[in-house]
Structure 1
Amino acid sequence: MLGYNYQEYLKNSKVYSQRYSFFVDKLINLIPGDLLDVGAGYGFFSQKVLKESKFHVTSLEPYLGVECIDKGSRVKVVRQNFRHFVSENTKVFDVVAFLDVLEHFPNPSWVLDKAYSVTNDKGYVFIQLPNYKSLMSRLCKEWAWWMPKDHYYHFSVKSIRKLLEAHNYKVVSLHTTETFDEFKKNLDGNFESISTLLRKPIKAFTIGPFFLVYTLLQPVIHRFGMGGLIQLIAQKKMILSFVMITKKCGGCGG
């Protein structure tokens, strides 16, 4: 995460817009319906969905101020946490979004079960979360997304796919990504233990060449699931139950 401070968030709005385009592009190609944005934060994604698609948006955020949502907007803001919301809600949604959210829940399995119950048949979940098996998490001692006080769980491409399949979702689109800002923030963390006097010349000498190599290899890194951020879209699978009727014909002349 780039920070919970609203002013800091605004400074990085281009980064967030770039991230969320992956999901909004998918919405544009779907039949318009209802989207639930869980843990909407400042409401940036909710507002972007409203502006760039024809979806109706419910923004679920118990703590932050959803300042990015325009006053008078058609976004419905609900001041509840997910647990309270699903216990009272009777509405079903076509899309449920967990962007930088699922890792904050102590029981992600329960969350996905509840998400399944509030989505329409063949509905979707949108998920964005850190990739703990990314290249930068392996190279950087102070990886920015560890956040042990905030993140209960960390996922890899393999583990999040396995979890979704266990809860009757089919992953229809998945990739890993990382912006320059996120890359630089992680790399900068490696220099914190170096004395201030030496830090600048060492950074100047190492970051440039490393960045060049990383940029050239980035498409390969992301393709093999080693980017810092996982973005995925999964579709709800229907659970079919079959009742087997056995006819016993002994002595019935059949």
Structure 2
Amino acid sequence: MICQLCEKLEVRRLRIEKGIEIFECKNCLLAFTNNTTSLIRLQQSGKDLYDFNGYKKEERKLRKRFNRLIGIITRYKDSGKVLDVGAGFGLFSSILQSNANFKVDLIEPEQKLQYVNKLKFLLYKTTFEKYKSKEKKYDCILMMDVLEHFSNPIANLEKAKSLLKADGILVVQTPNYKSLMAKICSEWAWWMVEDHKFFFSPKSIKLALEKAGFRETYFTAYEDWEDFKKNLDGNFEEITNNLVRKILKAIFFIFFIPFYFLVRKILWQCNYGGLMFLIVRKRN
């Protein structure tokens, strides 16, 4: 099997998740599924993964996170035309448009927009692969938690490059399967084979962007503690005795929480955060 990213033959089976094989390239550290009929079946059963009621419960946390990320984006671009690829329910774009002088276009093939009704926007109800720009160029393109869904990430990154103005920026966020969270959580939430085809590491995401013709402007690896804790809770799910489970969880978190917050910034600096957030520009 040849790696789609680096085209090397150094591919091994990394793990099996819900009956689906996940492979890893040992050279560039890109992981990916093999698109089998069983994967298609899982995708059909996973259509309710993005339920708005569940999303609404996370809104407070997400608003805090998005405001922080938008603060970073506006250091590099604070006005112009934005294309939000895979806008989801529209929360990120609604905050972005409310906090800066942006005109936002959204691509969202499936979800009903919930947060942008009072804002001026243009919605394309299609996939990014089918989207046609009609010569329109953007100052900023957002790919927030979408790159892992594509069948051909490099082709879509190259398409994004073609849609950017000369001084435009591409903003990418994707899970980090080499994170501490992924390593110590038996039920890491982003092993989501129902909908994720690729799993990136710091090395592979940077290589993918470089291969598509971009140069790095900003990179960070981070996670919210709430996400980390929820993933850690999964380590105790197989303990059937409620009392034993509660005691073991309490003992674990008594020691883990202070350690985690003591070394968290160091972990992030060493690229062990659960999410990778990048801003890139066209390479001249």
Distance 1:31 1:212, change over 3 A: closer
Shift in Å, 1:165 = 0.9
In structure 2, distance between residues paired with 1:139 and 1:132: 11
**2:159 aligned residue:** 114
In structure 2, distance between residues paired with 1:90 and 1:80: 17
- Residue 262 of structure 2 aligns to a residue whose secondary structure is helix
- Residue 239 of structure 2 aligns to a residue whose secondary structure is coil
- Residue 33 of structure 1 aligns to a residue whose secondary structure is strand
Work out which of the residue numbers 124, 128, 149 in structure 2 matches 1:104.
Answer: 149
Work out which of the residue numbers 62, 65, 70 in structure 1 matches 2:117.
Answer: 70
- Residue 126 of structure 2 aligns to a residue whose secondary structure is coil
TM-score by length of 1: 0.88
**1:123 aligned residue:** 168
Contact 1:171 1:234 (C-alpha < 8 Å) held by counterparts:
yes
Question: Which has the higher Rg, Structure 1 or Structure 2?
Answer: 1
In structure 1, distance between residues paired with 2:215 and 2:60: 30
- Residue 143 of structure 1 aligns to a residue whose secondary structure is coil
2:200 paired with 1:150: no
Contact 1:129 1:231 (C-alpha < 8 Å) held by counterparts:
yes
In structure 1, distance between residues paired with 2:65 and 2:110: 22
Contact 2:87 2:107 (C-alpha < 8 Å) held by counterparts:
yes
Work out which of the residue numbers 47, 52, 55 in structure 2 matches 1:9.
Answer: 55
2:98 paired with 1:55: no
Higher strand share: 2
**Could you give the per-residue CA deviations for residues 80-112 of structure 1, whole angstroms, max 9, x where no partner exists?**
1111113x5421111111101000001101111
Partner amino acid, structure 2, of 1:61: E
Which deviates further from its counterpart, 121-130 or 33-42? 121-130
- Residue 67 of structure 1 aligns to a residue whose secondary structure is coil
Distance 1:26 1:227, change over 3 A: closer
Distance 1:140 1:195, change over 3 A: same
- Residue 214 of structure 1 aligns to a residue whose secondary structure is helix
Partner amino acid, structure 2, of 1:62: P
Distance 1:60 1:182, change over 3 A: same
**Could you give the per-residue CA deviations for residues 36-92 of structure 1, whole angstroms, max 9, x where no partner exists?**
000000000110111001011001101001111133x11222211111113x54211
Distance 1:89 1:191, change over 3 A: farther
**2:44 aligned residue:** none
Tell me the matched-pair count: 234
Shift in Å, 1:196 = 3.5
- Residue 79 of structure 2 aligns to a residue whose secondary structure is coil
2:46 paired with 1:46: no
Partner amino acid, structure 1, of 2:269: R
**1:248 aligned residue:** none
Work out which of the residue numbers 61, 80, 103 in structure 1 matches 2:126.
Answer: 80
In structure 2, distance between residues paired with 1:92 and 1:42: 24
Distance 1:232 1:130, change over 3 A: same
Contact 1:91 1:118 (C-alpha < 8 Å) held by counterparts:
yes
Shift in Å, 1:13 = 1.4
2:106 paired with 1:32: no
In structure 2, distance between residues paired with 1:61 and 1:208: 42
Contact 1:168 1:236 (C-alpha < 8 Å) held by counterparts:
yes
Q: Mark the runs of 5 or more structure 1 residues left unpaired by the alignment.
A: 239-254
**1:164 aligned residue:** 209
Distance 1:111 1:85, change over 3 A: same
Which consecutive aligned stretches of 4+ in structure 1 deviate over 4 angstroms post-superposition? none
**Could you give the per-residue CA deviations for residues 208-236 of structure 1, whole angstroms, max 9, x where no partner exists?**
21111111110111110001010110111
In structure 2, distance between residues paired with 1:183 and 1:31: 31
**Could you give the per-residue CA deviations for residues 2-46 of structure 1, whole angstroms, max 9, x where no partner exists?**
x51212212211222233234422443425110000000000011
Partner amino acid, structure 2, of 1:129: T
